[in-house]
Structure 1
Amino acid sequence: MLATFTQVADAQSTHSIQKGETLSSIGDQYSIPAAAIKRSNNLSSEHLIAGETLTIPAVVSQNEKELLARLVHAEAKGESYAGKVAVATVVLNRVDSDLFPDSVNDVVYERSASGHYAFSPVLDGSISNTADSESTRAVEEALQFRGQGQNSLYFYNPETATSKWVSTREQTIVIGNHVFAK
């Protein structure tokens, strides 16, 4: 049944907590890190109450992993491995946020109200380039630690960014040439 769920899940789903379940066991059931479930539900502890409902973050399909790796490769080429993981994490944070679409595909190809793509590789076509193995590994690591970290929703290079708005966001971390913010 898990394989079927993974193949068809594009958006968040819900789970009714059964007696004896833990965040870890529920995470294993859906192939989602427990930390991601905890974050999606704004839980401050590991304590669960039978009968309550949890939101389960969207499962990331193999095709979406490949798309995300291509985005990471294009956006973070020349950056450190940590920078690549952070770029992938921003996309996953957006998928898990109520402010953005609910799938990697929809986040990557999202357009602003003015019609611009959120990520420049979509506009310039470099999103179609094959990802390198480091970018693929970075995506896998970001998925393993999904729900942890600084909750960054944005990243930009202050040397090349054309939007002044992004620099008004709360900075969370700087890695290489990228500033990450929420």
Structure 2
Amino acid sequence: MKITSRAFARAVLLTIFSTHMGGQVHAANLTIQIYPVATIAHLIAGNAQDAIKLPEEIVTRTGQGLETICMANALYHEARGEKLNGQKAVAQVILNRVKSEAYPDSVCGVVYENAHMRNRCQFSFACDRVDDTPQESDAYEAALIMAQGAVKYGIYAEGLTPNFRDPAQTEKSQITHYHTTAVSPSWGKKLRPIKTIGRHIFYRSERVAKSIAS
């Protein structure tokens, strides 16, 4: 699905924040200056485990914090063609990894883990040496808005919300991996498939999920 208007971006904002603000939602200023993602990746790659601080000038130019930008970059490159629920699920995977002891304890650390090793990172866009500067500004604005909500409040895809009265449902919420339906990686046979959303299949790794904090 191609995002073509600011109206959709505002709709994403309303969807994410309405439950947290009692319906009294004021759309943010969506005039966002896109900073070259490749530069951000370069800054983080040398210290992905501890998600380095974004230089003040970049924070000022984008109006966003580092964790929001890293989440937005992943949503844009990994899921901008998906509907809202598919994008939420990708964000959910990232946040679940942050909670797990098996991965770095920050969004940037998770997204850019091993970004300095070509084609050996967790999210392919981060280490394929292709210019990551977003070409679809509306889609990137929408990704930033979703990232803001995800980083601040957490986020769950439809059908993947934990229910602590139902351990089986909570396990479903602990998605930790995904791949597109166009590929069949060997690791997919070792994990439990949880849900297919759009063009992505989401999995739960027992090893990773067992250390996710409730």
Would you say same fold, with TM above 0.5?
A: yes
Unaligned runs of 5+ in 1: 1-60
Q: Does 1:169 align with 2:191?
A: yes
Per-residue CA distance 1:104-150 (angstroms, 9 max, x = gap): 11111113999710101112335443662222232234342358541
Given that 2:69 and 2:144 are in contact with CA atoms closer than 8 Å, whether structure 1 keeps it comes out as: yes
Q: Does 1:116 align with 2:124?
A: no
Quote the residue 1:57 is aligned against: none
Could you tell me which of 146, 160, 181 is aligned with 1:158?
181
User: TM-score by structure 1 length?
Assistant: 0.57
Call closer, same or farther: CA 1:168–1:140 in 2, change over 3 Å: same
Task: Measure how far apart 1:170 and its partner are.
Answer: 0.9
State the superposition RMSD in angstroms. 2.7
- 3-state SS of 1:118 partner: coil
Amino acid at match of 1:137: I
Task: Measure how far apart 1:102 and its partner are.
Answer: 0.8
Given that 1:79 and 1:177 are in contact with CA atoms closer than 8 Å, whether structure 2 keeps it comes out as: yes
User: TM-score by structure 2 length?
Assistant: 0.49
Given that 1:86 and 1:142 are in contact with CA atoms closer than 8 Å, whether structure 2 keeps it comes out as: no
Given that 1:108 and 1:118 are in contact with CA atoms closer than 8 Å, whether structure 2 keeps it comes out as: yes
Unaligned runs of 5+ in 2: 1-63, 163-172, 205-214
Distance 1:83 1:146 in 2: 12
- 3-state SS of 2:142 partner: helix
Quote the residue 2:42 is aligned against: none
**Number of aligned residue pairs:** 121
Percent of residue pairs identical: 28
